[in-house]
Structure 1
Amino acid sequence: MSIRPTLETRKATPTMEGAGVHLHRAFGFADPSELDPFLLFDDFRNDVPAHFEKGFPWHPHRGIETITYVLEGTVEHGDSLGNVGTLGAGDVQWMTAGSGILHQEMPHGNTRGQMHGFQLWGNLPSDQKMTAPRYQDVTAKDIPIVQDDDGTIVKVITGSFWGVTGPVDGIAADPQYLDITVPAGVRKTFRIDTYRRAFAYIFQGAGAFADASSPTGVLLEKEVMGEELNIRDLSGDRTLIRFGTGDEVTVQAGPDGVRFLLISGAPIDEPVAWHGPIVMNTQDELMQAMRDLRNGTFIKAAH
């Protein structure tokens, strides 16, 4: 077994998208190889309705998959193919945009006016970029939850973990998407296939992730005169941790516990030509997508 080194720890950056939605971006619109096959990750958490209710009006997608996971509030969605629906707390929507779709998402707060969710963009390989669009809408009750004896809780959204397989399937990046809660003071190790790129995103509590470069391979130290563990370099709310190669990730939960997403996927290793929510392999393909938008053939180009 080998601990994955911590390549980078950084806070998500406040930004604005759509018609004025205030959110925090953990990564996106930078080096697409950094977390290949993943392109972008946004945390749209807010308790001021005026900062999110104008939502994300009609916009195009091509060549990617968008994964929306709602924790609080609801998201009403619709598309150019006539699909409509509402995501509630705990629900997931996995949209394969493929050859092209026009889409809108309108968030609403819960009874306390709070909205919280995440959106992850996954790239599609060249041979699937022009596939027909499809949805996988998964309700909270259909997402399996497993609990260990130490109180660690894992929601398995996609992929297999601890003998349980998540309900989302057929995704190009073969991802593992886990929502993990580790109780206060508990140290926990999670296996990840070596070939996958991986990151964690802390959104509640705080924890210290092991680093292969430390002498013991963990961010822990014992007091000289006792067995109490002191935690150094705690990472807290809205923090991205990007991991290197290995097959284990170890975290020590802080005094209030830690909740984080642990996401990994198989790299595609292809060139990326990118303009907003349209991601192709070449500039010529990108320009063709723009022409399709202008001449009205954008959502009819599947093959």
Structure 2
Amino acid sequence: MSIVNVIDSDRMSASTDVPPAGRQVIFRTRGRGHGEVFRLISPSDLGEQLKPFVFLDSFGGVMSEFASAGGMHPHSGIGTVTVFTRGDVQFDDPEAGQGHIGYGGVEWMRAGGGVWHGKELSSGRSERIHGFQLWLALPAELELSEVQSQYFEAADMHQAGPAYVIVGTHGGVTSPVNAPAGVNYLLVTLAPGQRWDYEPPTGHTVGWLALSRGSLSGPASASNGELLVFSDDDGVIALEGGPEGATFVLGSAVPHPHDLHLGYYSVHATAEGLATGERNIQRLREKLFTLGDRQRKSGSTPIYHG
């Protein structure tokens, strides 16, 4: 499948800006959505080209409204990474403790063989939030692995220059998130006019970024809300903050070698893994709904994996 065919023509334009050195912007999109919630990557379209990055939502609004509107739902076969670019939320987990996740912090969940979640984060110290939720397709050896959930406040994360290293290793800094190898995911803020070159590790031919605030100037120009896809080579990604600066997430990775096997809430590396994951989800559902209300005093409901 060609990347040209997976993005609707009304929301995509090819970049004609070719940097003098480094990787080229080959496509851009604003996704689909309404209000402050936009689907930028889906497993059935752009995720096929950017795997292991198979899903990305940009979301914003009032956290209490998100919490009341959302419901428990299942996943299997993926890892989810949630970061916040504005505001903060609270986590309250009997295994992980309590704290707040704002800019620089992260929630990581490896769904593996099956999990129900959706209410583990509640309102924090700010009314409004903006963030990104990313799904990573797990390698075949982890697609049915034990569920894992990690929460890190910003103070527990590490920076390399202007980038928080959310997943992977960059600039001599390694994230504490227990994500699969071969993936980098960074949260970056550039000042107006600040230039920054990201040099992906060898083999990270998948590369993209999504802008949360401000703009980028130069060859990789972009405005708030855009997702840029870079050419599939090992070159540097050269970036420059626009007149108001820029805050964005950036991903690079070794390409996921497997076809994607899709369920409604699941993405697996094998058909057998998908079938097993969906059976596990149904079994967990029956157990979960016999437990009744599991909400904690903070408003959070811990994830459930049996």
User: Normalized against structure 1, the TM-score is what?
Assistant: 0.76
Question: How big is each residue's C-alpha offset from its partner over 1:140-172, in whole Å with a ceiling of 9 and x where there is no partner?
Answer: 10112344xxxxx22222323223222224x22
Q: How does 1:23-42 map to 2 (within 5 A)?
A: 23-31=37-45, 32-42=47-57
- Cα pair distance change 1:99/1:261, threshold 3 Å: same
**Counterpart residue number, 1:274:** 262
**Counterpart residue number, 2:101:** 88
Q: How does 1:36-115 map to 2 (within 5 A)?
A: 36-47=51-62, 49-50=64-65, 52-71=66-85, 72-76=87-91, 87-90=100-103, 91-105=105-119, 108-109=122-123, 113-115=127-129
Secondary structure at the aligned position of 1:289 is classed as: helix
Aligned residues of 2:113 and 2:277 also touching (Cα < 8 A): no
* Cα distance, 1:266 vs structure 2: 1.9
**Counterpart residue number, 1:230:** none
1:180 counterpart = 2:188: yes
For 1:203, which of 197, 200, 212 is the aligned residue?
A: 212
Separation in 2 of the partners of 1:285 and 1:298? Answer: 20
1:10 counterpart = 2:29: yes
- Cα pair distance change 1:209/1:28, threshold 3 Å: farther
- Cα pair distance change 1:157/1:87, threshold 3 Å: same
* Cα distance, 1:185 vs structure 2: 1.9
**Counterpart residue number, 1:237:** 224
Aligned residues of 2:160 and 2:172 also touching (Cα < 8 A): no
Aligned residues of 1:124 and 1:173 also touching (Cα < 8 A): no
Separation in 2 of the partners of 1:295 and 1:254? Answer: 50
* Cα distance, 1:186 vs structure 2: 2.7
Question: How big is each residue's C-alpha offset from its partner over 1:63-98, in whole Å with a ceiling of 9 and x where there is no partner?
Answer: 1101111341315476xx977755432321111111
**Counterpart residue number, 1:215:** none
RMSD of the TM alignment (CA)? 3.0
1:120 counterpart = 2:164: no
- Cα pair distance change 1:109/1:291, threshold 3 Å: closer
Q: How does 1:114-263 map to 2 (within 5 A)?
A: 114-147=128-161, 153-169=162-178, 171-196=179-204, 197-208=206-217, 210=219, 234-244=221-231, 245-263=233-251
Secondary structure at the aligned position of 2:192 is classed as: coil
Aligned residues of 1:66 and 1:120 also touching (Cα < 8 A): yes
In the alignment, residue 203 of structure 1 is paired with which amino acid?
S
Aligned residues of 1:66 and 1:119 also touching (Cα < 8 A): yes
Secondary structure at the aligned position of 2:274 is classed as: helix
Separation in 2 of the partners of 1:75 and 1:111? Answer: 8
Separation in 2 of the partners of 1:95 and 1:49? Answer: 21
Secondary structure at the aligned position of 2:278 is classed as: helix
Separation in 1 of the partners of 2:141 and 2:171? Answer: 32
Separation in 1 of the partners of 2:118 and 2:64? Answer: 18
- Cα pair distance change 1:128/1:117, threshold 3 Å: same
Structure 1 unaligned residues grouped into runs of 5+: 17-21, 148-152, 211-218, 220-233
Secondary structure at the aligned position of 1:4 is classed as: coil
Aligned residues of 2:144 and 2:277 also touching (Cα < 8 A): no
- Of all paired residues, the percent bearing the same amino acid is 24
In the alignment, residue 177 of structure 2 is paired with which amino acid?
V
In the alignment, residue 30 of structure 2 is paired with which amino acid?
K
Separation in 2 of the partners of 1:277 and 1:77? Answer: 24
Separation in 1 of the partners of 2:272 and 2:286? Answer: 15
- Cα pair distance change 1:42/1:173, threshold 3 Å: farther
Secondary structure at the aligned position of 1:33 is classed as: helix
Between structure 1 and structure 2, the one with the greater Rg is 1
* Cα distance, 1:14 vs structure 2: 1.4
Question: How big is each residue's C-alpha offset from its partner over 1:90-137, in whole Å with a ceiling of 9 and x where there is no partner?
Answer: 321111111111112265555552022221100111121111111222
Structure 2 unaligned residues grouped into runs of 5+: 1-19, 288-304
Aligned residues of 2:209 and 2:251 also touching (Cα < 8 A): yes
* Cα distance, 1:297 vs structure 2: 8.6
In terms of fraction of residues, the more strand-rich structure is 1
Aligned length: 264
* Cα distance, 1:294 vs structure 2: 3.5
Larger displacement relative to structure 2 (194-203 or 288-297): 288-297
* Cα distance, 1:3 vs structure 2: 1.1
**Counterpart residue number, 1:224:** none
In terms of fraction of residues, the more helix-rich structure is 2
